[in-house]
Amino acid sequence: MTAYIEAVAEDIDRLITIDINRRSVIQALYQAARKKIKRPLVLASAEALAKDISPGSVVFIATGWPDRPWISSKIGELDGPPGAALLARSLHRILGAVPFFLIEEELQHAMKATARAVGFAVLPPDQAIAAYRSSAPLHAASVLGFPTEIPQAIAESQRLISTYHPTAMIAIEKGSANEKDIIHNARGMDTTACMAKVDELVKESHRAGIITIGIGDGGNEIGMGLIADAIRAHVPYGARCACPCGAGIAPSVCTDMLVTASVSNWGAYGVAACLAVLKGQVDGLHDEDVERRTLREAADAGLIDGNTGYVDPGADGIPARTHAAMITVLRQLVINAISPRGLALEKEGGAAER
């Protein structure tokens, strides 16, 4: 890998970790992850996906966060599903992946709407796989409910892996349990009962030799077990939560790769942007119009901005126009990176002229 590509990936890492919502934790999370990964985070994940995903192969993408479960488990958060759908779009367009989205059963309708917003026909698993091989083009994904009880989650993980032989397993803004098997929200509250137990799919993926990637923004998501010590030291409720377990929100399960971002959706976009650079495909990353449409459709399906509590096409208290602006900048970065001048710099093997 040339120093030029690494420099582009560093730019993407910096862009998606701007502390725009002033939570004051992302830099600590990012630095801890860099010490573990030892490379730009988006580059490590993008390279792993490019290496392992083959055309027509299934990729599992887990997301969904039941928000305000003490009111209703049917209320989900807007951060996560759009990132999952749009990263899936990139994996499909660039690498030929067939995405399977895994989410709580009560949030399936919202994930289906979000997947359709990015261009997928939502079909049962076997039909989604068949669509890739169709003589007439049909771009399909599948949305599956995943169990909220651990025994059933273990059984379903084993069944899914043995049946569909995925080449990667990605979790985006997905709750992960601490050492006492409790999943917390960012306020340190117990949200275990309503959350799909995707940690079990991560464990089974490890046993099967499938690459696992976690993308998160607050320290309580799948993948953050890799930097649990930093979460305990720097994140509110990291060491001691607000629920009776008292063990903090830091997860105990690790993934092979971790991407930390100010907004989890942005972490997914950063991986997609880096993959677009690696493969020289600008259109592998969505544009501003697709971003706005995806956020709008996800909100229309009932997902809420977790910060404001409104059914609104924003995420983490950030309006849709700002999310679209992030895509504008990311796309320009990708365009410039694979322009004739950018390709010449890559061929030279360095970034001195940048």
To the nearest 10°, report the CA torsion of 17, 302, 175, 50: -60
Residue 77: what pLDDT?
Answer: 96
Task: Write the burial class of residue 163 (CB in 10 Å: 0-12 exposed, 13-18 middle, 19+ buried).
Answer: exposed
Q: Average pLDDT, whole number, for the chain?
A: 94
CA distance 329 to 216: 21
- Report, as an integer, the average pLDDT of 166-173: 98
pTM of the model: 0.95
Tokens of 42: 């988006």
Give the CA angle between residues 199, 205, 206 to the nearest 5°.
95
Between 68 and 289, whose confidence is greater? 289
- CA–CA gap between residue 100 and residue 84 (Å, rounded): 10
pLDDT over threshold 80, residue 350: no
What is the structure's pLDDT at 353?
38
Q: What confidence tier does 249 reach under pLDDT thresholds 50, 70, 90? A: very high
Q: Which domains does the chain have, with CATH numbers?
A: 3-348 (3.90.1640.20)
Q: How far is CA 260 from the centre of its chain?
A: 10
Rounded to an integer, what distance in angstroms lies between the CA atom of residue 129 and that of residue 125?
Answer: 6
